[in-house]
Structure 1
């Protein structure tokens, strides 16, 4: 039986098929893998939450998604951004009609809010230091 959460054998918050997709397409760059894994984790949490959370809970859960997007911008180089990796990974996470609907339902609940710009350092936003990675 298929589930919204899918298979996450290592329990890291990213479905195995999404992990493979990231590794196959951006495996040459540790920065890309880490930044895109953050995107995938945040999107997966949003899909699982769907519309089952309150507006306030959705807004709180949106912060990791915003941080993941900021990390992608701060950590990735222009070549990564040119591949539209963020959008591709987000759509891979929401790869069924039900997952897509739940992701959009979550975005609706989390939306219509002004979120403060995170002023933390890049390593704090990303959860890793992109400058310390070779590529």
Structure 2
């Protein structure tokens, strides 16, 4: 009888332990709840993901499963803390090299708890990802990546003399491979950046560049809506990627002190585009 009571007690403790572990397991919500990407060889795309947890989480890392790692990365990979019911944004970058094998690849992004001294624990509900790699369908010729040589001067390298730095031309193309309208709008913006950086110390030129830049921003907002704010910020970060360029941009802003830049009415923002928006069709 004593052994029977001991067995029942141990069984009860075991069941309670399982129950407590189940209760402690957080609910994870992804937005979107799955991702399907069709992407051509030799292109790059960037996607925003939001994750929410029903409980506070610590020591969290994001991990792409090995099957997708040749093309897919997530940042930040070391998340640290996710607060209960707060949205945490991740950036998914898909970089498909020109020699990638055409096909469909399935995998997930996991959230793992990586506490020092303990085995990594996978948090429930990974994010499913399907990547379809397709053949390239265009004949776009991009300049080579200038690498560190492109950072040695204020205006960088523009080998094809189109008014845009080679590294920025490549960034725009690979970041928005299926959004031609966005690429055209950002190209005009990038040309303006080259001008304002080269004339950063000229107050009159700074005002003219700021006025035109305002119109470029209106055009991009017409195309993308509020998403354009993040798109512009990302482009600016790519352009001002050296100390010299950042200081020149600060001088440009200082020369705008006290100036008022008048924008167009919202209903006219389409006209702020210096190209025919309706003549360009994006890949859906």
> What's the TM-score once normalised by structure 1's chain length?
0.84
**Superposition misfits of 4+ residues, deviation over 4 angstroms:** 119-124
Query: Retained in 1: the 8 A contact 2:222–2:270?
Result: no
CA RMSD of aligned residues (A): 2.1
Pick one of 70, 82, 87 that aligns with 2:233: 87
Distance 1:123 1:9 in 2: 31
Query: Retained in 1: the 8 A contact 2:215–2:263?
Result: no
Distance 1:104 1:112 in 2: 15
For the pair 1:110 / 2:256, whether they are aligned, the reply is yes
Match of residue 131 from structure 1: 278
How many residues are aligned here?
A: 131
Match of residue 97 from structure 1: 243
Match of residue 160 from structure 2: 10
Distance 2:199 2:270 in 1: 27
Structure 2: which 5+ residue stretches go unaligned? 1-148
Distance 1:97 1:30, change over 3 A: same
Show CA shifts across 1:22-72 (max 9, x none): 111112110110111122111221112222x1x222212222211111111
Distance 1:111 1:125 in 2: 24
- Select the structure that is richer in strand: 2
The CA deviation at 1:85 is 1.3
Distance 2:153 2:253 in 1: 20
Distance 2:155 2:239 in 1: 10
Structure scoring higher RCO (CA < 8 A, sep ≥ 6) equals 1
Structure 1: which 5+ residue stretches go unaligned? none
Q: Which has the larger radius of gyration?
A: 2
For the pair 1:33 / 2:183, whether they are aligned, the reply is yes
Distance 1:81 1:58, change over 3 A: closer
The CA deviation at 1:129 is 1.8
